[in-house]
Structure 1
Amino acid sequence: MNAAPLSPEDPTELGGFELLGRIGHGGMGQVYLGESPGGEPAAVKVIKPSVVDSETRLRFAQEIEVLKTIWGPRIAAFLDADAEAEQPWLATEYIDGPDLRKHIHTHGSLPLVLAASLGATLAEALAGVHKQDLLHRDLKPANILLGPNGPKIIDFGLAVFTESSASLTAPNTVLGTPACMAPEQANGVKPLTSPVDVYALGAVLLYAATGHYPFQADNIHALFHLITKADARPDLTGAPEELVPLLTAMLSYDPQARPALSAVVKECRAVIETQGLKIAQARRRLTAHTAHTAATTVQDTPPVPDVPAVPAVPATPMDAMDAMDATDAAAFADLTTAALPQSPGATAPTVPLPQDAAAPAVYTPTVRAEPSPAVPDQPPVRPVAAPGTPPAAHRGRERTGPGPLRTSAQAKRVAQQLRETYAQRAKF
């Protein structure tokens, strides 16, 4: 996927990283493809000036501190950040590959062995996160990037330390992605514990194997009602028979009934071995499969050896909820900022939250914007400039960073091509 060109309002440099193009955006900010002075590619997240306030800076600083603490081969590495800058920014490792949600939408659900390999890989990664006394709290298909060296977890913006009940969230406000949210998280229970990530992983594994989530509904109010209903059973339709017992346990309403992450790894490994493969072989097949399909379209992709082709999964209303960006959030403003109806005649069901009798709570579900997918490092084809078109749309703008930029010739060519593309398409 090519990066979109920078606009005239975009910075060309932040903290020594030269910005080459736009990767994606969300309600809180923009993500750029950047390059360090030494040529290291990076995903640079910048908070929008319109939403920069003291609380946003505190939350952003919290994300930075979490990323400084966390590490592991399946975690996108922290590179640099500045929460006190005029435009707060954060640079992390750039993963060259699509996110899991996009992959499933385009190429269909994963075969049994590959789904089990993904489950084992992510469970082991989350176990490492938990050993560092952290929770992710927002694991979902869009936060898993399928890079050339295997899947990696991104976006620890909602991560918290396991023993802490402190929160920057307003009272009775729920943050996270509803489609993968554990019941206790949807109910506003604090502090959350490790089973919340086990549930989210179960939802991700189900989505990878079937293309749908545990609970589906036409609107977010009904979805929260299903998630928080103790006797509701997750929809495991289409799940491979070998994974049903594990998925059932991981998606249990009771957090104590969910397996430990080490047990998830063990069960996924057992599924792979019953298919006559070793765990390392399954991991290599998963990486080869996702890398191969990322480089082709679903129409002309020949099957990977020993991996059957699976038809693509159509979009559903649940996918739209999971993929909300800034534009979608505006359309769903009444769902993300207003309280759920509390009257007996309300059309949407009321979801009770733990509260003091003297102070009734107002339940305010908050849907976070989708993180941006990764972008390949190959530059787009140079367009033919129209007569009279200036060579760059950014001519005459001052850089925000001090000193000359020291970047590779290839980076400068990519930046020049992106700006020329923008100059041709600009309406002014």
Structure 2
Amino acid sequence: EKRAEKLGARENELEKMVAEERHRLEQLAGLSAQDAKNELIHRLEEEAHADAANKLREIRETAKRSADREAKKIISLAIQRIAAEQTAETTVAAVALPNDEMKGRIIGREGRNIRAFELATGVDVIIDDTPDTVVVSCFEPVRREVARLALEKLVADGRIHPGRIEEVVNKSKQEVDVAIVETGERAAYESGVHGLHQELIRLIGRMRWRTSYGQNILNHSKECAWLAGIMAAELGLDVAMARRGALLHDIGKVLTHEHEGTHVQLGVEMATKYGEHPLVINCIAAHHDDVPHESEISVLVQAADAISGSRPGARREAFETYVKRLEGLEKIASSYRGVEKVFAIQAGREVRVIVTPDEVDDARMTSLSEEIARRVETELQYPGQIKIVLIRETRAVDFAR
């Protein structure tokens, strides 16, 4: 008991000493124990917030660095897996003849056969000095294909007269109609797109005989579908929807000869009419930035379209159109005050504008490049994109004599 009393007294003495020390510390620090505790918590919170902010900044910087790298990797992978050849088609089709005597039979007495053929098909038949060849010319590719088939049949048969011409042309039209449906179904199957309306399949089939800047639209649309599908798979998005939107994005181009409006407007009308998903309709409407993008898929379709259309060799232009575009680029850039010289380089993909340093300062440079770019967008038509580069140079020259 005495030992327990001693221990109790010792414990009380220790508690008293601790209380005295705490009181002395509080007097020296000018803070109570609770205040000191709160101050410590506050400092720890501030340190934690600072650490979190630094960590967040590091994560953002890492994300920015890796996002560009990942995007390039996805696009490169998609391009690497798609190695499709593009065939540039023209507005003429050549038909081989067994001999030059057949030219006279095609023309007929006083030209009646050739007139009947041109009237039935809506094409121009060009017969010149080219040996054993007749050229069929027409801007409308389906009519040109009908005429080519009909003329080949007539030449093979040998019986060429107005009555026979009409019969063969009608038969060729039916064959081309069947080929259009088969081509559309095959393209949809190859692209992995199912459940399309029959009229949309017909429009896809007609793409086979349509070109844009020399690039076959059917091959372009199929390539876009494959590219968009690969990129969607890499990003974990809806692959089927991406392929569908990409395959149909240029569907309006087969109607521009027959209806008023841009190919985007006509494509949106057709997709809406035949019950396509709103995301697919937005892919068509937004692939030239006419309306805002409503999903990641429409952005992928636009990217696939740019990759397929802008890569070297995909498209070609008539020489006159090419020269006219270069002249237009230089004329637009030269129209601004302070512009000294303009050079269109890299086949019109880049415009270098040299400005007078006294009239154009550094602040004006940025706004001037943007103004030129916007005018080029609104006034010129071109595939891909055009880079506008402004150069401002100040030189001081003297001579040592």
CA radius of gyration, larger in: 2
TM-score normalised by length of structure 2 = 0.23
TM-score normalised by length of structure 1 = 0.22
| Greater relative CO, 1 or 2 (CA 8 Å, sep 6+) | 1
Q: Which has the higher helix share?
A: 2
